[in-house]
């Protein structure tokens, strides 16, 4: 039976999902329920905007190959590792065409199928949303342990990673937590870049459209001073911050 992927959408000229200009596929389905998620319409595995084979998805990539020559293909979500067979076959096609591959993941899923995908992955974009297990579960509804094991595995296979951290006032901006996060992340040689992302309200309408209660509707965007504080803490641990 031919592998099919349930794709929410794709973006032909992404500039924030890895190096260069990228073709970005957003996969359907996610095991996390992040309080600040702006892609809540990707959570459900039963919502299937597009069902594509890896070859059909690659055909879309091929249409813009000339434009993404300096970038590549990023598979995001949702959580792409819920559909590892599809991602694996797509990345194999990309590698055959000498196209850079990036995987945007929460690190929640690590198994033999994940490891096969990582063999075909040039760069991992990994969210480590908090370092405190209780606060992480409050933010995401799942355990932190999986993500910590995931980055440890990336270190064992020497897989380059960009780490993202979303600053949410009242949730992920505590100074002591930030020091612990930076101390943890700084031990990994595979971390090539850290992006500090300010929380925003851009996904509010999706929560409302889906009839879901949005707990952060009164949470402000972090101030420039707050972001600078996070940046300084991360820099003090030698992390490669990109502004």
Domain boundaries along the sequence of the chain? 5-242
Q: What's the pLDDT at 133? A: 97
Q: What's the pLDDT at 42? A: 77
Helical H segments across the chain, by residue range = 54-63, 84-96, 112-119, 133-140, 145-156, 175-185, 204-209, 224-236
Q: What's the pLDDT at 134? A: 97
Q: What's the pLDDT at 221? A: 92
* CA distances (Å), origin 193, targets 1, 134, 150, 230: 39, 26, 17, 15
| Gap between the Cα atoms of 177 and 160, Å rounded | 24
Mean per-residue pLDDT pooled into runs of 10, the chain (243 residues): 86 92 94 84 74 95 92 95 97 97 97 98 97 96 96 98 96 97 98 94 71 82 96 98 83
| Gap between the Cα atoms of 81 and 4, Å rounded | 14
Residue pair 165/195 in contact by the 8 Å Cβ criterion: yes
| Gap between the Cα atoms of 144 and 123, Å rounded | 21
- Residue written as tokens 């949410």? 168
- Residue written as tokens 């590698």? 95
DSSP H or E stretch at residue 105? strand 101-105
Judged by DSSP in three states, 3 sits in coil
DSSP H or E stretch at residue 191? strand 191-198
Report strand pairing: 241-242 vs 191-198. Answer: parallel
* CA distances (Å), origin 40, targets 32, 209, 231: 10, 10, 28
Class at the top of the CATH hierarchy for domain 5-242: alpha beta
Q: Tokens representing 241?
A: 């911050």
- Exposure of 11 by Cβ count < 10 A (0-12 exposed, 13-18 middle, 19+ buried)? middle
Q: What's the pLDDT at 116? A: 98
| Gap between the Cα atoms of 5 and 28, Å rounded | 8
What is the dihedral angle through the alpha carbons of 49, 53, 56, 58, rounded to the nearest 10 degrees?
110
């Amino acid at each position: 039976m031919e592998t099919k992927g349930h794709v929410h959408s794709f973006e032909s000229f992404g500039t924030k999902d890895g190096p260069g200009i990228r073709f970005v596929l957003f996969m359907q389905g996610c095991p996390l329920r992040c309080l600040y998620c702006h892609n809540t319409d990707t959570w459900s595995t039963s919502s299937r905007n597009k069902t594509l084979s890896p070859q059909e998805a690659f055909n879309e990539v091929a249409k813009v190959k000339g434009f993404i020559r300096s970038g590549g293909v990023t598979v995001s979500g949702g959580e792409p590792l819920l559909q590892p067979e599809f991602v694996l076959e797509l990345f194999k096609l990309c590698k055959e065409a000498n196209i850079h591959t990036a995987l945007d993941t929460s690190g929640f899923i690590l198994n033999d199928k994940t490891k096969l995908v990582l063999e075909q992955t040039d760069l991992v974009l990994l969210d480590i949303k908090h370092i405190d297990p209780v606060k992480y579960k409050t933010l995401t509804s799942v355990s932190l342990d999986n993500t910590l094991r995931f980055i440890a595995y990336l270190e064992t296979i020497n897989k380059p990673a960009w780490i993202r951290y979303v600053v949410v006032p009242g949730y992920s901006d505590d100074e002591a937590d930030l020091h612990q996060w930076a101390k943890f992340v700084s031990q990994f040689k595979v971390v090539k870049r850290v992006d500090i992302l300010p929380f925003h309200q851009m996904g509010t309408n999706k929560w409302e459209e889906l009839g879901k209660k949005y707990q952060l509707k009164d949470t402000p965007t972090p101030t420039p001073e707050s972001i600078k504080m996070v940046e300084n803490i991360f820099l003090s641990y030698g992390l490669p911050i990109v502004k």
